């Protein structure tokens, strides 16, 4: 059976290697490992402000990966003092890709920032600094992970994929979805922070606030990745 072709969005950040110290399109290799090990071909999609998203016609599924904060201007708010410098080209590119994927009924998986991009695209908004609204620790310091429980909605895609409604997730973020727009919330942390959103009208459109790409999550989140790739194969076969 042909392997599904999955597009992964990526960062556009300063990077240094060898003799070079320049802006680069890059991605933590955890993502590549995750999807290749699960049986997919991976295509990395650098930020592209051209609204033409015809590249999606060559893909079977889209993953919007984690990264810097979504620009608050995209949901009509001034930036909090803790907000990252806007990555405007990435915001624009990922929003265009997401909307294009939805128009094609292409399976989408959003990871951390990816969930937030989805919510904003659906008319929602974000908590710009979770410590202002919750005492639950979602990140002790940048670049490190904490764990906390989450409760999933029975009968949701995420609960069916993971085979449970009570799970423990990893976390490294200071922003989260405040208003999901017209997405459906299907997972919550104990403090009420939104951990999962879905579009139930789609075969697979799921965003999670945690990080399934982390090597320690390969077993815990295997059902989620398998379900996504199964949906990608079905999308390919229906074309």
Please state whether beta strands 61-64 and 5-9 pair in parallel, antiparallel, or not at all (unpaired): parallel
Question: Which one of the listed residues 10, 195, 213, 235 is annotated catalytic?
Answer: 213
Rounded to the nearest angstrom, the gap between the alpha carbon of residue 14 and the centroid of all alpha carbons in its chain is 22
Measured CA to CA, the distance from residue 128 to residue 13 in angstroms comes to 21
| Contact indicator for 184, 125 with CB cutoff of 8 Å | no
Question: Which one of the listed residues 10, 112, 197, 205 is annotated catalytic?
Answer: 112
| Contact indicator for 203, 105 with CB cutoff of 8 Å | yes
| Contact indicator for 62, 96 with CB cutoff of 8 Å | no
| Reported pTM | 0.97
Which domains, and CATH codes, for the chain? 5-238 (3.40.50.880)
Nearby residues of 237 by Cβ (< 8 Å), 6 or more positions away:
none
Paired residues of 177 in beta bridges: 126
What is the DSSP code string of 168-222? EEEE--S-EEEE-TTSEEEEE-TT--EEEEE-TTSSSEEEESS-TTSGGGTTTTH
Burial classification of residue 220, based on how many CB atoms lie within 10 Å of its CB (0-12 exposed, 13-18 middle, 19 or more buried): middle
213 is catalytic: yes
Paired residues of 9 in beta bridges: 45
- Per residue in 57-74, pLDDT (tens digit) is 999 999 999 999 999 999
- The closest alpha carbon to 121, from 88, 98, 142, belongs to 98
| pLDDT tens by residue, the chain, 239 residues | 789 999 999 999 999 999 999 999 999 999 999 999 999 999 999 999 899 999 999 999 999 999 999 999 999 999 999 999 999 999 999 999 999 999 999 999 999 999 999 999 999 999 999 999 999 999 988 889 999 999 999 999 999 999 999 999 999 999 999 999 999 999 999 999 999 999 999 999 999 999 999 999 999 999 999 999 999 999 999 97
Measured CA to CA, the distance from residue 64 to residue 45 in angstroms comes to 10
Question: Which one of the listed residues 122, 174, 211, 235 is annotated catalytic?
Answer: 211
Distances (CA, A) of 145 to 28, 140, 174: 15, 8, 12
Please state whether beta strands 166-171 and 146-152 pair in parallel, antiparallel, or not at all (unpaired): antiparallel
211 is catalytic: yes
Distances (CA, A) of 141 to 106, 128, 138, 174: 35, 16, 9, 9
């Amino acid at each position: 059976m042909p392997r599904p072709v999955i597009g992964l969005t990526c960062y556009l950040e300063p990077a240094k290697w060898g003799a070079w110290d320049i802006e680069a399109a890059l991605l933590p290799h955890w993502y590549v490992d995750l999807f290749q090990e699960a049986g997919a071909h991976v295509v990395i999609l650098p930020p592209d402000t051209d609204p033409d998203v015809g590249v999606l016609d060559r893909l079977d599924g889209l993953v919007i990966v984690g990264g810097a904060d979504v620009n608050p201007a995209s949901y009509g708010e001034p930036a909090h003092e803790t907000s990252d410098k806007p990555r405007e080209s990435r915001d624009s590119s990922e929003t265009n890709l997401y909307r294009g994927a939805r128009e094609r009924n292409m399976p989408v998986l959003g990871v951390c920032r990816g969930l937030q991009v989805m919510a904003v695209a659906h008319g929602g908004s974000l908590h710009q600094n979770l410590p202002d609204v919750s005492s639950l620790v979602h990140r002790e310091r940048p670049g490190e992970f904490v764990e906390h429980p989450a409760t999933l909605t029975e009968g949701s895609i995420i609960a069916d994929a993971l085979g449970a409604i009570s799970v423990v997730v990893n976390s490294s973020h200071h922003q989260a979805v405040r208003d999901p727009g017209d997405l459906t919330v299907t997972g919550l942390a104990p403090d009420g922070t939104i951990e999962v959103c879905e579009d139930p009208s789609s075969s697979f459109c799921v965003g999670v606030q945690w990080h399934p790409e982390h090597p320690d999550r390969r077993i815990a989140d295997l059902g989620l990745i398998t379900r996504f790739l199964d949906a990608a194969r079905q999308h390919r076969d229906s074309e």
